Amino acid sequence: MGEVLLRVEGLVAGYATPVAGPLAFTLRRGEILGLAGPNGAGKSTLLKALWGGVKVFAGQVRKPPGMRISHQAQGFTDLRGIPLTGRELLALTGAPSEGLPPWLAERLGLRLDRLSGGQLQFLRLWACLMAPADIVLLDEPSNNLDRAGVDYLADWLGRAHAGQGIVIVSHDPALIERVCTRVVQVDAGSAQG
Amino acid sequence: MSLDLLFDPLFRLPFITGLLLAGLLPLIGMYLRLRGEWLAALAFAQMASAGALVAMVMDVPMLLGGALAALVAALVKGLMARAGAHAYALMMLAAWGAGVLLVANHPLAEQAGHALFDGQLYFTGEAHLVASVVAWGVAAPVLGWLNRSLLLAHVFPEFHRARGLDPRPRLMVFDVLAGMVIALATVSIGVMAAFALVFVPPLIASRFARSWRAGLALAALVGMLGYSAAFVLSLGFDQPFGPACALLLVGLVVVSSVKSDRL
């Protein structure tokens, strides 16, 4: 059993008012935990609550001191007109380019606004996933990815994540089932795992 | 068109001062554009011009008055980050109103007001040159230090916060730096020339550059070339520098748009 990275107890989170939880789980190094559930259940809100990105109304998130968290959020920052290359993007988070799929590795020198939505999504995902971190939080990582992208991501997660603890939020049950070592079901109103 | 004045030692100092600023302002502009805050440059410039006029009336160096007013603007911008463009618009209106009233009611402010609004950089002196050299000496390493944080704050807004780090102090350092450089440029080359050099070169560079680093270099180059051409034209045709600079840079945008569409 790997080191405990996160211990979540009775977590209720939201913005002006609570919108998600309660949620309870423990994440260990080497685990990939899936948060599954329907749209609107508050999965993304709970993911943000793990590092203090939203208001916590009840419960707590405990982690050893010095834990580095990397969070891949849903949605795109508008990068049109910003002359930033894929290589420069990876350098920002400290992510290496080794291991990228060939169809993306050969395009690293291009500006991000010259990439397709799927290529940009995979690159953003890679920049967060491979940033030096103990805990990686992925929010709907398969959005905008084609079958090849999802397959590459799933294969990579299956064989190369041992050093980290990963929490994945997804409404895609196939991805959750394929890559996660454990799944917590998040329903509107309650969550336990 | 007479170009004899170009070789007059009297105009060398203002030219070099403006050239230094024309290389620095586009760098500031690249980061303002990245953050969608280019309008803040105009607010800084208007505030600096009003501050410089108030300082003149109070018999205080205009450079100091402009810098203090821009510092206030930078702090307001940082504290009212959520208000965004609303805060910039309010600052612009307030500064413009105060500046014009001062020019209309105080004889001392009238000439200085025209210099600030028309961009008569021939009034720049040795203090402006020294300040511009110091600005380069400070801004170049500080921008290098801030580069990753500013890019991360835009591309991955959660990156620092998820690691328990607060990005706001570094963003505030950038705001203050931008305010100081734009204030210096405002009192040296005028409000609209300073704004044009913050806004236009990054617009062109962002269109053509193949990387962020190349974009910074191209923006600085466009700024310095555009400024030099505007300086020569305004001196040769005896026209105010500010409008000449603004029109020339806008012309560059139009030409580069045609070129860009054909590529």
Question: How far is residue A116's CA from residue B218's CA, in Å, rounded to a whole number?
Answer: 26
Q: B119-149 burial, b if ≥16 CB within 10 A, otherwise e?
A: bbbbbbeeebbebbeebbeebeeebeebbbb
Bigger pLDDT: B18 or B108? Answer: B18
pLDDT(A162) > 80: no
CB-neighbour burial class of residue A130 (10 A; exposed 0-12, middle 13-18, buried 19+): buried
A108 touches chain B (CB under 8 A): no
Residues 132-151 of A with CB under 8 A from B: 137
Quick check: B51 and B76 in contact, CB under 8 A?
no
In this prediction, residue B263 carries a pLDDT of: 46
Range of weakest confidence among A31-35, A38-42, A176-180, B18-22: A38-42
In tens, the pLDDT along A70-82 reads 998 887 778 888 9
* B212 chain-A contacts, CB cut-off 8 A: 82-85, 88
Question: How far is residue A163's CA from residue A149's CA, in Å, rounded to a whole number?
Answer: 22
pLDDT(B260) > 70: no
Question: How far is residue A28's CA from residue B185's CA, in Å, rounded to a whole number?
Answer: 55
Rounded to the nearest 10°, the torsion over CA A47, A51, A54, A58 is: 90
Mean pLDDT of B207-224: 97
Q: Tokens 């962020």 correspond to what residue? A: B212
- Shortest distance, CA A172 to any CA of chain B (angstroms): 24
Question: How far is residue A24's CA from residue A12's CA, in Å, rounded to a whole number?
Answer: 10
Do the Cβ atoms of A69 and B162 come within 8 Å? yes
In this prediction, residue A1 carries a pLDDT of: 65
Quick check: B44 and B70 in contact, CB under 8 A?
yes
Mean pLDDT of A101-127: 92
pTM: 0.89
Q: Which phi and psi (to 5°) does residue A171 adopt? A: -95, 5
Banded pLDDT at A111 (limits 50, 70, 90): very high
Question: How far is residue A169's CA from residue A45's CA, in Å, rounded to a whole number?
Answer: 10
Mean pLDDT of A99-120: 92
In tens, the pLDDT along B79-116 reads 777 667 788 888 899 999 998 898 888 887 887 887 78
pLDDT(A146) > 80: yes
pLDDT(B49) > 70: yes
Query: What percent of chain B is helix, strand and coil (3-state, nearest 5)?
Result: 85, 0, 15
A81 touches chain B (CB under 8 A): yes
CB pairs under 8 A between A and B: 74
Range of weakest confidence among A99-108, A122-131, B99-108, B197-206: B99-108
Instruction: Record the tokens describing residue A11, joined without a space.
Output: 């977590």
Mutation test of the interface with chain B: which of A61, A78, A85, choosing the one with the most B Cβ atoms within 10 A?
Answer: A85
In this prediction, residue A126 carries a pLDDT of: 93
**H-run or E-run covering B30:** helix B9-34
In tens, the pLDDT along B247-259 reads 999 999 999 887 6
Do the Cβ atoms of A52 and B209 come within 8 Å? no
Banded pLDDT at B65 (limits 50, 70, 90): very high
Mean pLDDT of B11-24: 92
Mean pLDDT of B59-80: 88
Helix (H, G, I), strand (E, B) or coil at A144: coil
Q: Which amino acid is at B248?
A: L
Average predicted confidence (pLDDT) for chain A: 87
In this prediction, residue B168 carries a pLDDT of: 87
Bigger pLDDT: B138 or B5? Answer: B138
Range of weakest confidence among A70-74, A156-160, B25-29, B171-175: A156-160
For CA atoms B187, B190, B196, B197, the dihedral sign is negative
Instruction: Calculate what percentage of chain B has a pLDDT beyond 70.
Output: 93
Do the Cβ atoms of B154 and A82 come within 8 Å? yes
Query: What percent of chain A is helix, strand and coil (3-state, nearest 5)?
Result: 30, 30, 40
- The ipTM assigned to this model is 0.87
Question: How far is residue B127's CA from residue B17's CA, in Å, rounded to a whole number?
Answer: 10
B214 touches chain A (CB under 8 A): yes
pLDDT(A161) > 70: no
Question: How far is residue B120's CA from residue B134's CA, in Å, rounded to a whole number?
Answer: 22
Mean pLDDT of B116-141: 87
Banded pLDDT at A16 (limits 50, 70, 90): confident
Bigger pLDDT: B2 or B189? Answer: B189
pLDDT(B3) > 80: no
Across the interface, of B155, B164, B209, the residue whose CB is closest to A77 is: B155
Across the interface, of B163, B206, B214, the residue whose CB is closest to A69 is: B163
pLDDT(B122) > 80: no
In tens, the pLDDT along B155-204 reads 998 888 888 888 889 999 999 999 999 999 999 999 999 999 999 999 99
* A83 chain-B contacts, CB cut-off 8 A: 205-206, 209-212, 214-215
Average predicted confidence (pLDDT) for chain B: 89
| DSSP conformational letter for A2 | P
